[in-house]
Chains A and B, each alone.
Chain A
Amino acid sequence: MFDHIDPRSPTPLYAQLASRLRLAVAAGELRPGEALPSVRRLAAQLRVNPATVVQAYRDLEHEGFLEMRQGAGTFVRDVPTGRRTSERIRQATVLVRQLIADAGRLGVSLDELHSAILEEMGAKAS
């Protein structure tokens, strides 16, 4: 799940981690009630500072995606469908914004980008 954590990115690691977890909850990849790895285990697995994992978990607890139970661990909360949908839409916007910025840098026009998207979507649907 955390393969794309990039220490070189200007986005802080805790924010990358939080964003990945938020999407996993929104997309149902993580189910309500499911236990997350302990701070110690996840930090060791990713070889990141434990404080980075703590901060990501805290942020998501604050947003209502996770629940940290003293001594028991960290669990996924039952997030209402509407909230999950809006989170996915937010992520979609982030992706598209990135795509448009990349296209601009490479000199690809918006029309060209748009038709490429439609074509790829058509290819996937058929």
Chain B
Amino acid sequence: MTHAIDIRGLHYRAGRSFEIPSLDLRVPTGAIYGFLGPNGSGKTTTIRLVLGLLRPRAGDIRVLDRPMPRQAADVLARVGYVPEQPHLDPTLTVREAMRFQAAFYPTWDHAWAEELLVAFELDERRLFGKLSKGQKGKLMMLLALAQRPELLVLDEPTDGLDPVVRRDMLAALIDYVSEGGATVFISSHLVHELERMCDWIGVMDQGRLVTELPMERFKNGIKRLVVSGAPPAVAAPFSLLSRERNGAATETWLVRGWEPEMHAFFDSVGASLQRVIDLDLEDGFVELLRTFRTLPPRPEEVR
């Protein structure tokens, strides 16, 4: 498998307050990779390192098979970026912003840029500084897509925007990906949006990558089990992330790597499994962070 983004042994520190001690992260070529994590977990920093906007203290970052930041100019010509905060000269009109962006990208698709302008209902004469938040978001997406990038890096592109705008932006993104098979690296707090479209998930917390898995495996593995009569110590065939008592009769277990056949395990230890509760991506994400913060890291959870 080739990787559009390949980070190994990355170390970064900003002052004393924030550190990424050692990060390994791989985004398979052609994937739509959802990058999750609470505020301050290091997502935006990682994105800025990927784009060569920050310099690591140690480690290797390869983007589209080129070393970063050494070959930044080459790489950035093939990467579309939608930042968390749109930053364009507020005195440019929409049309001028498009012309400005087009000048940097030999692959700029004029026809498609015009189509997106219409689809996004943007007024070409309007000043960037006078656009609404949603219009700014759509313009940034237009600028990133019309350059026909091989890799799209999107830092919370739709967070804080209304549902209609989000829908338009993501539909345009999916349309582009379906056609050309570009790789997408997208961070967001809107977990359900990522759940629809991502086939890979990476979760960051406190400067560390908690997990990185194909979406199906992430969702299938994590369950909440309601158990009664279990002995205090068990050697389970799944990994037991946490165990809490619900009053006298039952316990709630959070497990990973669950398979339906593992039912039999409970009979073998004289316990009974009363319910298996499916966790969606958001529940799984929340539980994962909770256990990551309360338990020492386990070798199989941290790559």
Contacts and interface: CB of A to CB of B under 8 A. Distances in A.
A24 to B, nearest CB: 21
Contact of A10 (B177, B192, B197, B278): B278
Given A12-B216, A49-B32, A7 B195 contact: yes
A43 interface: yes
Interface stretch (B73-81, B91-99, B168-176): B168-176
Interface of B is mostly: helix
A43 B278 contact: no
B175 A48 contact: no
Nearest to A40: B178
A47 B198 CA distance: 10
Interface in B196-227: 196-199, 216, 219-220
A49 B198 contact: yes
Given A10-B278, A39-B178, A49-B198, A44 B219 contact: no
B219 A50 contact: no
A46 B195 CA distance: 12
Contacts of B193: 47
Interface string A7-19: 1111011000000
Contact of A48 (B197, B220, B281): B197
Contacts of A10: 219-220, 278, 280
Given A48-B197, A49-B32, A51-B199, A43 B192 contact: no
A45 interface: yes
Interface of A: 7-10, 12-13, 39-40, 43-51
Interface of B: 32, 167, 170-172, 174-175, 177-179, 192-193, 195-199, 216, 219-220, 278, 280-282
Given A47-B167, A47-B174, 11 more contacts: A7-B192, A7-B195, A8-B195, A13-B196, A39-B178, A43-B175, A43-B178, A47-B171, A47-B193, A49-B197, A49-B199
